[in-house]
Every structure is written in structure tokens, then in C-alpha cells.
Amino acid sequence: MSAPYAKLPAWADYGLIPLVNLVVAFIVAGLVVLLVGENPFRAAVILVEGAFGRGQGIAYTLYYATTFIFTGLSVAVAVHCGLFNIGTEGQAYIGGLGVAIVCLAFDSLLPWWLTFPLAILGAAAMGALWALIPAWLQARRGSHIVITTIMFNFIAASIMVYLLVGPLKPLASQAPQTRLFLDGGQLPKLNWLIELFGGKVRAAPFNVSFLLALFMAWLMWVLIWRTRLGYEMRTYGFSPKAARYAGISETRIIIVTMMISGALAGMMALNPTMGDQHNVAIDFVNGAGFVGIAVALMGRSHPLGIVLAAVLFGMLYQGGAELSFEMPNISRDMIVIIQGLVILFAGALEHMFRPSIQTLFATLSPKSAGLAVNGEGA
């Protein structure tokens, strides 16, 4: 039976729908703010100003965004191949081990611009290896990747705790973290970039890994839409049967995709470790892997969308911190609730408003809606 449906123009698909979702999320968040007895409009102003009002805020927002770009890309690459990698959290955590090994070994010998590429390789390799095991289990044994990657998050956390309270910890220290990296293991800040545009930055961890994140976003676009490998990934993602018909090896494509996904997750570790804290500490990922799922969903798995969504979540992190500082009734937990609402509406309920918006478009301007008729059956 033909099921005609209205197809939305690209700007509505990629712009309007996320915007509507976002607005609804903020309205509901506003009600929550009202509930605890604060003025939601003032809260919104503080949030936005805190994130974008001053150079300092912008630098922090972009610092958080860097982390989310990596994890968002990681999730999105797998999504294009029809795989749901929930293990970004663990892969990023293990990626930190790669950073630690490289930095602890070379920070006294090499300048940062030599350590950095090695650390990128180390982080990517560790993340990729951590994704390889679930990928192999999925490809060869049919163990569902959602289950195995969740499990691997816990295993990753346990391994890192063991290493950070044991072998990687300096002898005399009581903190579960590595020693501080020397200059060779510290990434230069990019705060001058913001000062170039007149912003003032006192001290913020915004660093060169942001540029790496943007480069990776571009690279992902090339990979997905311009390479043979990306073509095969998308084919498998849309239709495993068509992929088999086209001679695409299921085992190979799952493993390769997951390793790319894991590598991107691993690179996330560069930002908070070499870029900010200059050590690898316990729990440094702090949920960024899960935020990556929301970022990928909201960004519709497109690199540009992911960068924008990552900046949005960066804003929520940075502005949220300001908010809990300014408004005594709004605690850190409230910020988490607001973030949760954004994830809920923009991510999980992404399709909630789509039917009504499609209907609206179909009635308002049938021509611009570019009607499409499904080719199935009579």
C-alpha cells in the first residue's frame, strides 16, 4: 500500500526541528526553575551570559564542546554503520591510558608538538583496541554491541581505577592520578584566539585539541560521504542485506567502524588531560561519553550538526556552572536535570514533533514540502 508522506526541506529537517525540540526543552526546564522558586527568565539570561557573555565563559564553553565533539563523532560514526556504540565512555577512559603512557614516557624528552601527535596515536589506538573486542564479538559471535559496550564501560573503569591507584600513581602521592605532565605533555592554550576577537580570558583550559576536534569532524565528513569505506559503512547501516549482496564483508565493516569509533572516543582524552589537568586522573571522562550520544542524536549524525550540538552542550555545562553559582536554589543537580531535559527532547524524543511539523508543511505549502510517494506495492 502506498504510504505517501511529506518530505521536509533540508532547513526544516536540520534547523527547525532541533530548534523546536530545544525550545520545548527550555520551556519545561523553565517550569522546573519556577518550581524551585527562581525566575526562569533571569536563569536563562545567566545561563547564556555565563556561557557566551564574556571571553572567559566562551573559552570554557568551547573547552567542554571539544570533549563533546570527539564523543559525538565517535557515536555518530558507528550510527552510520547501524551500530549503537554506548561504549564511548569506556573507550575514552582507556584512551586516557594511551595519553598517560605517551606523556609519562616522552614529556621530559620531546616538545609538546612532538608529544601531541604521539599522544593522539596512543589515545586513538587504545580507544580503538577497547572497541575492537566488542566489535569482534558482534561480528563473529553475534553478541549484541549495546550490551557488550556497556559492560566494557565498567571493565574500563575498573582497569583505570586499578592503574591509577597502583602502577600509574607516583609512590608518595595519595591522589588516584598520574604525576603532573611536564611541559612536553602540556598542550598550548587557544585563549589568545578569543582575545583576538576582543574577549578577555583570565585562565581557561581551552586548548589546541579543539582544532584537532574540528579537523576530525571534517575528516569524518570526508570518510562518510566521500570514501569507499564510508559508502560501505552507510550501505551496511541502512541495509545489511544489501551490503551482503554488494559484496561488503560484514565482519570487516563492523570491526573497522567500531575501531574508528573507538579511536575518536579515545582522542577525547587529550582535551581534559594534556589540555587541562596535565595528568590523568580518576573519572576524568565524567559522563562525556553519554553526552556524546545526545550530541550525535541532536546533530543528526552529521559532523556540522555535531559541532553545533557540542557547543550547545558546552554552553549548558559552562552556563550551568555559573547558574548554580548565581542562584542559590539551583544546585548542580538542577543543572543536570536541565541537561537531561535537553537530551530527552532533542535526543530521545527527537521525532515527537516531526509528524505535526510535516503535516503543517504539507498543508501550508505542498510544493515546498516536496512530496514523496513511497514506491512500495500498489
Q: What is the rounded CA–CA span in Å between residue 25 and residue 41?
A: 14
Q: How far is the CB of 367 from another protein (least distance, A)?
A: 6
Helix/strand/coil for 56? helix
- Considering only residues 216 through 255, tell me which ones interact with another protein, judged by CB under 8 A: 222, 226-229, 231-232, 234-235, 238-239, 241-242, 244-247
Query: Does 369 engage in binding with another protein (CB under 8 A)?
Result: yes
Q: Which amino acid is at 319?
A: G
Give the number of other Cβ atoms within 10 Å of residue 225's Cβ. 13
Q: How far is the CB of 91 from another protein (least distance, A)?
A: 24
Query: Does 5 engage in binding with another protein (CB under 8 A)?
Result: yes
Q: Nearest 5°: CA angle at 366, between 364 and 368?
A: 95
Instruction: Number of residues interacting with another protein: please give it, by CB under 8 A.
Output: 36
Q: Nearest 5°: CA angle at 122, between 121 and 126?
A: 115
Nearer to another protein by C-beta: 14 or 52?
Answer: 14
Q: How far is the CB of 230 from another protein (least distance, A)?
A: 8
- Considering only residues 304 through 363, tell me which ones interact with another protein, judged by CB under 8 A: 362
Residue 363 DSSP class:
H
Nearer to another protein by C-beta: 203 or 373?
Answer: 373
Nearer to another protein by C-beta: 144 or 244?
Answer: 244
Residue 207 DSSP class:
B
Tell me whether residue 337 is exposed, middle or buried, using C-beta atoms within 10 angstroms of its C-beta: 0 to 12, 13 to 18, 19 or more: middle
283 Rama class: left (phi>0) / alpha (psi -120 to 50) / beta? left
Q: How far is the CB of 362 from another protein (least distance, A)?
A: 5
Q: Which amino acid is at 216?
A: M
Query: Does 7 engage in binding with another protein (CB under 8 A)?
Result: yes
Q: What is the rounded CA–CA span in Å between residue 140 and residue 104?
A: 36
Query: Does 371 engage in binding with another protein (CB under 8 A)?
Result: yes
Query: Does 378 engage in binding with another protein (CB under 8 A)?
Result: yes
Which residues make up the interface to another protein (CB under 8 A)? Answer: 1-2, 4-7, 222, 226-229, 231-232, 234-235, 238-239, 241-242, 244-247, 362, 366-367, 369-378
